[in-house]
Homo-oligomer: A and B are copies of this chain.
């Protein structure tokens, strides 16, 4: 397993033409720690590439706050359901540190895709990548124990354990804070 749904945006930025197109429409934005970058039940109009800081996507599952995605620098984050389906999202996005990022609007992405075959192509590649990530995440949740998922994340993204509150890592890994704490305490 590679990224555990932490999308690396390099795919988009490493191609000069794509990067240049994105430059033109990118809007630099900042968010303060704790700020909600996107509110659930609204349409998410932006796709964010983080330059600094950590953010998470979460929603309320049976009244409980569940984190489904965490992104750091060089990674992307959006309310994917809304972004794809152009309907109100069940997800919110929260800045967990002060964030510097660039935002690209859904409309601009559509326009660039319509205009440029190559851009459309990279859009497809990006979706292929996050699809595989998601399939791996699903496998991990079904196949591995809480212990194994904890160790896996610890190995792949140790920084997160310093930067993100334990309760959010716990729900991201599909376990309760109590279980997370017990595993941490060996």
**Chain A: residues with CB nearer than 8 A to chain B?**
61-62, 66, 80-81, 84-85, 113, 117, 120-121, 123-124, 127-128, 130-132, 134-135, 137-139, 141-143, 174
- Looking at the complex, which one of B61, B113, B142 makes contact with A121 (CB distance below 8 Å)? B113
Q: Are A81 and B135 in contact (CB under 8 A)?
A: yes
> Is A142 a contact partner of B81 (Cβ separation < 8 A)?
no
8 CB contacts below 8 A, A to B, read A61-B142, A61-B143, A66-B142, A84-B131, A84-B132, A113-B124, A127-B128, A137-B138
Looking at chain A's contact residues, is the secondary structure mostly helix, strand, loop, or mixed? helix
Complex Cα–Cα for A121 and B118 (A): 11
Chain B neighbourhood of A139, CB < 8 A: 61
CA distance A33 to B120 in the complex (A): 39
Of B84, B135, B137, B143, which is within 8 A of A62 by CB? Answer: B143
Partner of A123, one of B61, B80, B124, B138: B124
Cα(A142)–Cα(B137), bound, Å: 12
Shortest CB-to-CB span from A121 to chain B, Å, is 6
Contact (A135, B132) CB under 8 Å given A121-B113, A121-B120, A124-B113: no
Complex Cα distance, B137 from A137, in Å, reads 12
Q: CA A128 – CA B82 in complex, angstroms? A: 11
- B131 lies within 8 A of A130 (CB): yes
Could you tell me the distance in whole angstroms from the C-beta of A3 to the nearest C-beta in chain B?
13
- From the candidates B85, B127, B138, name the one contacting A138 in the complex (CB within 8 A): B138
**Minimum CB distance partner of A171 in chain B:** B142
A137 to B141, CA, bound (A): 12
CA distance A81 to B135 in the complex (A): 9
State in angstroms the CA–CA spacing of A85 and B128 once bound together.
8
